[in-house]
Amino acid sequence: MDLQVIRKINRLWEGVYPYLSRYIMDLYGHQEGDVLELGPFSGGIAKGLLSLSPEWKVVVAGEPPDLFAPLQEEIDKAHHTQKMMIKPSPLSLLVFLDQSFDLVIFRGAFFFLTPAILREVYRVLRPGGFAILGGGYGPYTPQALIGEIAEESKRLNHLLGKRWINEVELTRMIQEASLEKEAEISQEGGLWVILKKKKEEGGVGEGGDFGLVEALCLRDHEIISLVGGGGKTTLMFSLARELQERGLKVITTATTKIFEPPREQAPYLVIEEDQAQARGLVREGLRRHGHITLATQRFPGGKIGGVSPELIGRMPQELSVDHIIVEADGAKGLPIKAPENHEPVVPPTTSLLIPMVGIDALGRPLNEEEAFRPGRIAELTGTKQGDPITHQVIATLINHPQGLIKGAPPGVRIIPFLNKVETTEGLNGAREVAREVIQKGEGRIERVVLGRLFSRRPIVEVIQRGD
């Protein structure tokens, strides 16, 4: 398909997408959840949903990847990387895990729709999930706006070779997909297939619906240190939010540098070098908000941090706090890293150490574009720079005493977290890494957590010794 024509259609429909977004959200009946928007016309409804509610997490998927370059620029510019993600995928065999999404949207589906696509959409729906596929302006779009763009839209669709499907053909397609009981056809402002998955059809993968607290086996009054790459800051604030929602008091902090978090992640931010003043501010923040983020200074480039391990060690005695979560090293946003001589800065009072790797590193070349300190990784794992990053490389890096468990205090529990497990391929790779870590690692590692922190349901699986 002509990418320039597709982009023209998307620009033409910019005024329509907010109305379609509102219609779909009202039809679904919820204002939060994990959303998948499919196809080359994706992005407009995703942005519309996020403007209506910040509680959506949206994945945009389709092919070819080049088509989504302008959308990626928008996401980066608007700092929406915690809310919207682009994941290339064929439509007839979606890369995503079973039961991954609460809401699936496919506008412009009649260019491509087949029974196989219908089945795939139903597969990735969670129990209780909802999907809408088809084409049209929806019932909320004003007729005046439709009149302005209808002829040009029809012309551009003709250039792309759009198939015109009627209700009879659509019914036949639904029957071929064996989804007669789950599907209904709507002609509100177009022609749409609506799929609904019943709630009683099972759980969400082997990870179920339990949260980070259960997966990480948190005990009372933990000091949790995060090291490695692939999502430490996201894990820190996701875990803090989960603990806060359970009525617990949490401090998030860093011995290294992190980007200053937005208010939705850190409701109360304390940046204070004077320890006596910081104590008072933290005490007040915990009382009012239940979660505070503490730093001692601001650094160039929008970063904060620099809290000493000694101060972190004193906090449980001086403050009424349930858990302290510490980001203990940096990785420049890359999925995998090895520590340098001065890293990580793990407080000696740490009770739980979580080494992290983004499983999207698997199969990529070991170079500076894909890894932080690739030379050090190669040295620790017995590989060469430029070689593919294999599951053995990741497992060895996690287990090596100078790798991701470097600086682990005596007696600390260690639970590795493999993040970005969002696809079938990623799940298979993460399972291989986890098994190798447990089989060949030291006895302190009893379990490995497989997760997808972008999702509102972040746990995919927990693999334990003896599984």
The pLDDT of residue 467 is: 77
Q: Given pLDDT bands bounded at 50, 70 and 90, which one contains residue 204?
A: very low
The CA–CA distances, whole Å, from 297 to 175, 261, 309 equal 62, 14, 15
Interval 203-208 mean pLDDT:
43
Interval 457-465 mean pLDDT:
95
Question: 334-392 pLDDT, tens per residue?
Answer: 999 999 999 999 999 999 999 999 999 999 999 999 999 999 999 999 999 999 999 99
Strand 417-419 with 459-464, pairing: unpaired
CB burial string 113-126: b at 16+ within 10 A, e below:
bebebbebbbebbb
Most confident of 255-269, 360-374, 433-447: 360-374
Task: Indicate whether 326 pLDDT > 90.
Answer: yes
Map out the domains of the chain as residue ranges.
3-201, 212-464
Interval 274-284 mean pLDDT:
93
Q: Provide φ and ψ at 16, rounded to 5°.
A: -85, -35
Q: Do domains 3-201 and 212-464 have the same CATH topology?
A: yes
- Mean pLDDT score of the chain, rounded to an integer? 93
Task: Indicate whether 44 pLDDT > 70.
Answer: yes
Task: Indicate whether 201 pLDDT > 50.
Answer: no
CATH classification of 3-201, choosing from 2.60.290.11, 1.10.390.10, 3.40.50.150, 3.40.50.10800? 3.40.50.150
DSSP 8-state class, residue 216: T
Question: 70-121 pLDDT, tens per residue?
Answer: 888 888 887 778 899 999 999 999 999 999 999 999 999 988 899 999 999 9
CATH classification of 212-464, choosing from 3.40.1000, 2.60.40, 3.40.50, 1.10.150? 3.40.50
The pLDDT of residue 209 is: 60
The pLDDT of residue 200 is: 65
**Encoded amino acid at 137, one letter:** Y
The pLDDT of residue 95 is: 96
Percentage of the residues of the chain whose pLDDT score is greater than 90: 86
| Cα 251 to the center of its chain, rounded Å | 22
Task: Indicate whether 180 pLDDT > 80.
Answer: yes
The pLDDT of residue 52 is: 96
The CA–CA distances, whole Å, from 314 to 79, 279, 347, 397 equal 35, 11, 11, 31
Question: 402-429 pLDDT, tens per residue?
Answer: 999 999 999 999 999 999 999 999 999 9
Task: Indicate whether 19 pLDDT > 50.
Answer: yes
Q: Given pLDDT bands bounded at 50, 70 and 90, which one contains residue 395?
A: very high
| Residue among 11, 22, 127, 108 nearest 62 (CA) | 108
